[in-house]
Structure 1
Amino acid sequence: MKGIVLAGGRGTRLYPLTVSVSKQLLPIYDKPLIYYPLSVLLLAGIREILIISTPEDLPSYQRLFGDGSRLGIRMEYQVQETPRGLADAFILGESFIGGDDVCLVLGDNLFYGQGLSSMLAKAIRECRGATIFGCPVADPSHFGVVEIDLNGEVRSLEEKPQKPRSRYAVPGLYFYQNDVVKLAKQVRPSPRGELEITAINETYRQQGRLQVAKMGRGMIWLDTGTPQTMLQAGCFVEAVQSKLGLYIACLEEIAWRRGFIGDKELYEAGKRLEMTDYGRYLLRLLQEERPQ
């Protein structure tokens, strides 16, 4: 399976913060925002990843990650000239996807929880078309909403409904079989002129090939689309890291534990950043433990 991080858009809800800087490069406590969705792909064992962004911002991501070899992965990059909706990621990424299945994660989403890795593995293993996630939220009217029946089947999908039929929002993480590319090409622009991901998911639902994985109480999903939610996310990351001494979305640590890189590469990463708490954390990992 291959992975796509969609990091385009203008981030207008964050102006003036994003007038000259891509939203996904803004800090969430001690890391660029894009580290958090990228960590999800690494946790899922995905090692071939495409970042899609604007012509102005893509060089910044290339400087940040290069070809991905420092993390033991392969990174590619694709320009999105104008925002055309989430489904456009599969059209732009067609040659990258090739004959593989694909996971799409939005560049402004943060996921955290004890069972996250096993949930991702199950989503890949059991995907029979498309797998989306359902996360209970206090006000689902700001998100796509999935309605689930007593048997766990998807009854309906709605995009930012005024009167939601469910408390389960659909976060920006999706697993698809390879035919998603063909389906994306068949999507017609919505009234707001975008190729909606909900249209693809609805097609899978009508075909009986859409699964939903419910996120329980032990899982956290944060959408960082506003200054308030960015601040909340930063405070959450700081609290967890300060109290537990364990880092969230530490890409080098995940790559090391997954076996993508070895002790030598982890040490080199730690030495490069030794002047920071982040770098000293990497070096401490080598002193205290080995991959499990």
Structure 2
Amino acid sequence: MKALVLAGGSGTRLRPITHTSAKQLVPVANKPVLFYGLEAIAQTGVREVGLVVGDTHAEIEAAVGDGSAFGLEVTYLRQEAPLGLAHGVLIARDFLGDDDFVMYLGDNFIVGGINELVDRFNTRRPAAQILLTEVSDPKQFGVAELDAQGRVIGLEEKPERPKSDLALVGVYLFSPAVHRAVAELKPSWRGELEITDAIQWLIEEGLDVDSSVISGYWKDTGNVTDMLEVNRLVLESLEPRVEGLVDEASELVGRVVVEPGASVERSRVVGPVILGAGTRIRDSYVGPFTSVGADCLVSDSELDYSIVLQGTSIVGVGRIESSLIGHHVEVTASVNTPKAHRLVLGDHSKVRIGT
């Protein structure tokens, strides 16, 4: 078995962060979300991985390398544009050959790994196996319709009138039969080759499509709210560790990680929190479910339930919460009166300002 990891999406829902950074490399608990997927694949014993990349290929290739850090052998497959999940399968045809494969969306997060899913596929040998979960708004997902016996009888991509509340989770397993399905596809109304259409083709050809409904945790980390929620979940399992410096005037409460070279001075940190290598916390409060990347500065400020990326400084700004702040950002207080906000924002930004 091989693996196909899709990391070519543009991440429009995470703009402006993704104007300058790959969405799959936005960190959860200071580790890129893509890495969690690669680790899950490695745990199954799969070694050969095709990584589909797009415009952000250079950044992803620099982060993942040849895959040896994960115990994998990675082959990069260039996608000229995000033309659908099935298009990713199409361009990977030579790499996949006649092997079974697991397809994993690089911005998805699943608690507990995928070992059981792979074992079930190897035991039952269906043409395809999908993972489903109940969602509150199925219009945003690929949706499966099951019959009274729980068999998959239909699939639709982002339907206007969903026939169920069962959404496809971003992990699929396929036999080589899927290549015949993909070869028959035409672009959908979205202009993409939909993997749901390929699976529907398998169903209509009378091939076995297996499914299971997960009760565990899954998130498509495509927007800020979901990123913060996944960050919260991962930090919940944090083991406290202090490898940096914490002065006597500071207090660490609960599960706090202070990585090498980081320092906490005259501050209070309430976990779960992770402070990246070289980061400095001074005269500040850092609250639960916050991850601060490497080489950051938080001074005379309060930070809570947020993700802060590498190289950012936050100085004298009072309280920040429920925020995703990019690389090398400078957040400072304005000393001008009357009170005003001075903003430099990227396209499609969303800002909430208290009055």
Q: TM-score range by the shorter chain?
A: 0.7 to 0.9
CA contact (8 A) 2:157 2:194 kept: no
More helix by share: 1
> What is the CA RMSD across the aligned residues, in angstroms?
2.5
More strand by share: 2
1:223 and 1:6 mapped to 2: Cα distance?
A: 13
For each residue in 1:54-106, what CA deviation from the matched residue of structure 2 results, as whole angstroms up to 9, or x when unmatched?
1x422222222222223332111011111111101112111111121111111
Q: Which has the larger radius of gyration?
A: 2
Match of 1:19 in 2: 19
Give the superposition deviation at 1:110.
0.5
Give the superposition deviation at 1:230.
1.0
For each residue in 1:235-276, what CA deviation from the matched residue of structure 2 results, as whole angstroms up to 9, or x when unmatched?
111113359x9xxxxxxxxxxxxxxxxxxxxxxxxxxx9769
Give the superposition deviation at 1:108.
0.9
User: How high is the sequence identity, in percent, across the aligned residues?
Assistant: 35
Match of 1:148 in 2: 146
Residue 45 (structure 1) aligned with residue 45 (structure 2): yes
CA contact (8 A) 1:124 1:175 kept: no
CA contact (8 A) 1:108 1:224 kept: yes
CA contact (8 A) 1:145 1:168 kept: yes
Q: How does 1:1-292 map to 2 (within 5 A)?
A: 1-54=1-54, 56-113=55-112, 116-217=114-215, 219-242=216-239
2:129 and 2:48 mapped to 1: Cα distance?
A: 19
Segments of structure 2 that go 5 or more residues without pairing to the other structure are 242-258, 263-273, 277-355
Aligned residues: 249
Structure 2 residue identity aligned to 1:80: Q
Distance of aligned partners of 1:177 and 1:216 in 2 relative to their CA distance in 1, 3 Å threshold: closer
Q: SS where residue 241 of structure 1 aligns?
A: coil
CA contact (8 A) 1:105 1:172 kept: yes
Q: SS where residue 200 of structure 2 aligns?
A: helix
TM-score w.r.t. length of structure 1: 0.78
Structure 2 residue identity aligned to 1:143: F
Structure 2 residue identity aligned to 1:30: N
Q: SS where residue 87 of structure 1 aligns?
A: helix
Structure 2 residue identity aligned to 1:6: L
TM-score w.r.t. length of structure 2: 0.65
Distance of aligned partners of 1:205 and 1:275 in 2 relative to their CA distance in 1, 3 Å threshold: farther
Give the superposition deviation at 1:133.
1.0
CA contact (8 A) 1:102 1:177 kept: yes
1:198 and 1:109 mapped to 2: Cα distance?
A: 17
2:201 and 2:45 mapped to 1: Cα distance?
A: 27
CA contact (8 A) 1:123 1:213 kept: no
2:275 and 2:116 mapped to 1: Cα distance?
A: 26
